[in-house]
Structure 1
Amino acid sequence: MLLYMSNSARETTSTPLHSVSVAGAVVREDGRLLAIRRADNGTWELPGGVLELTESPEEGVIREVLEETGVQVEVDELTGVYKNTTRGIVALVFRCKPAGGTEQTSAESTAVEWLTPEEITERMTEVYAIRLLDALDQAGPHVRSHDGRHLVGRSA
């Protein structure tokens, strides 16, 4: 994580640090959505990760989805911005469509599956399920905050 502060800021206060991540809500023609079971903690989530300094958000989504699932995607549009108020992570979620590749696990995923909205609600925690469900809603983009487990504030 990088820290940007002016000399005067260093002397008095520190600038809040935030990390930016990107994720792909990959929607198949039959309405199923791509999900992974994470290798590090066993939770079900949509594929994504930290945006690198040299890439655009769309490039980051394409890279992360391919790395974690083996699926190549075309990025459609931004469907939501989600802030973890506890960890200072801002996640940008983009609706995508599959464009090739073959589903496969990686060092970051122990399962890759196409889930129905009902299965997403059953398998995922609220803060991850809502990202995929929001991607199905044409009224976005949605802006939501959460504490890492539950939605908080007016967006809840």
Structure 2
Amino acid sequence: MSVTALHRRYKVSTDAIYRHQRAHLPPQLRAKLLAGPDTAIDIDRLKETESQSLLANLIALRHRLFASMDVAEEAGDSSMAARVAGQIHKNLELTGRLLGDLATGTTITNVTVLPQYVHLRVELVRALAPFPEARQAVAAVLHTVEHDAAETMVRQPFAVPA
């Protein structure tokens, strides 16, 4: 840590920090600090331990955030509750990214919102132009399927359709 950071954190004068450094740091430790970090580090091992530490800290922080949410709700402070809810959301999002995909069942993707589906739909209806009755029947089916998918997303955004 820099002397300035130590000064701010512990409210100790920079002179006192320098005096402590001269009087109490052995030469070997001073040399190691000046040389910088050890470059013979097992990166994979470091990533694993840091990920575990990050996850543990995210969980601990989330517990504190939920406690803050309780306090905000008990006090009737909707502004504070909204800010805390935003931080909880960020915490959960980061935890999810750290852990990767947490889905344990089937993942359903609503293809009706994909650009490829829209392109396929346009081309299919266009190809049926010479056959007006078939075109109208296919367009009606597509409309029904898209409407049902939209209704399902509105009613149950995370539900798996039957």
**TM-score normalised by L of structure 1:** 0.21
Structure whose residues are more often strand by fraction: 1
Q: Compare relative contact order (CA 8 Å, sep 6+) and give the higher one, 1 or 2.
A: 1
The two structures have a TM-score, normalised by structure 2, of 0.21
More helix by share: 2
Greater Rg, structure 1 or structure 2?
2
